[in-house]
Chain A
């Protein structure tokens, strides 16, 4: 049954490929454009394409395909992009289990991979690679900030919850690394789960004073709606993924006042960000999320490298990427030794602004924060 469903999904996908042929740089974007994770992929894609459009360059070709959040489909697309589309750079993957399946083989074949979202610990430490650059964060980072915030806010007993996949493990590891209190229970759910009754029952029965959850995309929407309707009133904290712009709209006022941690926020005060937020709203008619900001930064990093070097000269192109000579919408940005960002992470609060739920920065959580795995990387 599962095999049949998969085979059919692959068939559907084959019809969606777009043949392109041109000189210049060819980018293959594998991202999630359908199902409960589609809001993330759509935002990354839209942010990326906005930056490409604004650069005015006509020599960048972007091939975009939907991975449906399935590792086997992502691998098939990557093989096709590398072997028959002849892309130079790959990007776009949202989910860490897909990134782990795709990135190592792609970079071994001499292609560059720029991650606009997933940052699994496996690829940041011993598994790092000179052709792999993460423009978002190492997975643990935002959760580390959330753990630190929860300690500062006086919480001493957390119930922590994440999906059972590599980024979920990184999330809980990161939270525990910076949370000084006690962990009442840690629970892993299925990736893509939509009913959280069993987990909410455990939260209700626990003696926790705070609930930390990492549930990106549709999972977060389902969880927050069910949590709000369950009568449990233990305060929640989370990373920005659990409270991004797409989730807030669907969850509604239940999210009001919740604190979450992010490397980016709509109200970050710098010229690049102000311009980005305005132009994104104008182009797409909605507020950008952190995923859109990451897609936008990824494209701008790529363009900055392209200005300096030809992708055919891999060593020069890699040096140009490593320099990160672009204006990030999150302010200061530089790569650490393992090609993961060293950056500030903020605490945000969910507020109502002009009738729309959104986030506002309340404090700086971690300054120039680097990830915990950089020391294990040798390249």
Chain B
């Protein structure tokens, strides 16, 4: 197996991983700070993608589309937080799951009503099209390289935000003791809305960036949401560092599994059977990884001791 193939797959895994991180960061923040399980996080990803598609088709500018995706997802997130989520913080997780699940249906049907059931396909901006030569003789698509860079930049920014700013301090305080920071006079309602909108904006950004190379369609968020839950369970619920490590672990495992498992099976099976069995097992691999991590560290890699 040539080294360039391995290198390219590692980059693909990394690209997948940083996008999963953008999804899981919001999910894990919201769970860590507010104790809320938000199943509708995938819908925010979809809203970001559709906002980008709508603005791109109206203006022709990908960059305006990207801005619109951030704005639309953050606005939708803030709206949902103010009108619904606020009432759920004191309730049990089952109530939260029911309400946010209903939100998935509402958002999906709403988008279907406005945009129709046909997927939309976007073109990446000419500036980011094509490939760039990397050391070692590998040509890699520029757009995916930019995604990796953008994802890592956002991750670094998020760490700075959480560890160095006043808002971050309050987020961390909220994670450790919600009642106490309200008692010492922090406007907890505004903090919750800000955290929720921030998480939503990250999801919307991921939706727009990925939707531009794949497709923008109703229900695109749910498969990613499931993966994002896997990521935060692996990383440890509530931990941003865990989300980053978990996301990259899941991204690389999935991508490498799709390459290596069929090759492994080909050593002792017929090519056709090896390809089919390998592909089937590769799609299970991240769940096996999750089971293994939970077996060894029940709280996740960076979670508080369970």
Query: Which A residues fall within an 8 A CB radius of B?
Result: 1-2, 4-5, 8, 11-12, 33-36, 38-39, 42, 164, 169, 172-173, 183, 185-190, 194-195, 197-199, 201-202, 204-205, 218, 221-222, 225-226, 229-231, 250
Contact = CB atoms under 8 A, between A and B. Distances in A.
Contacts of A186: 271-272, 275
B103 to A, nearest CB: 11
B18 to A, nearest CB: 13
A12 B219 CA distance: 13
Contact of A221 (B121, B144, B278, B283): B121
Given A12-B109, A164-B280, A38 B119 contact: yes
Given A5-B222, A35-B218, A198-B12, A172 B121 contact: no
| Main DSSP-derived SS at the B contact region | helix
A173 B276 CA distance: 12
B119 A231 contact: no
Contacts of B226: 1-2
B101 to A, nearest CB: 6
B271 A183 contact: yes
B27 to A, nearest CB: 13
A195 B280 contact: no
Contacts of B130: 229, 231
B82 to A, nearest CB: 24
B61 to A, nearest CB: 19
A164 B8 CA distance: 23
Contact of B141 (A190, A205, A221, A230): A230
A244 B193 CA distance: 47
Given A183-B271, A186-B272, A197-B141, 14 more contacts: A1-B226, A1-B229, A4-B97, A5-B104, A35-B119, A173-B272, A186-B271, A187-B275, A198-B12, A199-B258, A205-B8, A222-B214, A229-B131, A231-B139
B97 to A, nearest CB: 8
Interface of B: 1-2, 4-5, 8-9, 12, 15-16, 39, 97, 101, 104-105, 108-109, 112, 117-119, 121, 123-124, 129-131, 139, 141, 143-144, 210, 213-215, 217-220, 222, 225-226, 229, 255, 258-259, 262, 271-272, 275-276, 278-280, 283
Contact of B129 (A12, A187, A221, A229): A229
Contact of A201 (B5, B213, B218): B5
A187 B9 CA distance: 15
A9 to B, nearest CB: 9
A4 B101 contact: yes
Contact of B213 (A8, A183, A202, A226): A226
A194 B272 contact: no
A189 B258 CA distance: 9
7 closest pairs, A vs B, by CB? A194-B214, A205-B5, A231-B131, A188-B279, A34-B117, A201-B8, A197-B12
A197 B15 contact: yes
Nearest to A250: B121
B217 A8 contact: no
A222 B215 CA distance: 7
A126 to B, nearest CB: 20
A277 B227 CA distance: 44
Contact of A189 (B124, B129, B131, B279): B279
8 contacts: A12-B109, A187-B275, A188-B275, A189-B279, A197-B12, A197-B144, A205-B2, A205-B4
B263 to A, nearest CB: 9
B105 to A, nearest CB: 6
Pick from B213, B218, B226 the residue with the most CB of A within 10 Å.
B213
A34 B117 CA distance: 5
A218 B143 contact: no
Contact of A36 (B213, B217, B272): B217
Contacts of A230: 131, 141
A367 B39 CA distance: 54
A34 B119 CA distance: 8
Nearest to A15: B109
A250 to B, nearest CB: 5
A186 B143 CA distance: 27
Contact of A169 (B131, B141, B225, B276): B276
A36 B119 contact: yes
Given A4-B101, A195-B16, A229 B5 contact: no
B221 to A, nearest CB: 11
A300 B40 CA distance: 45
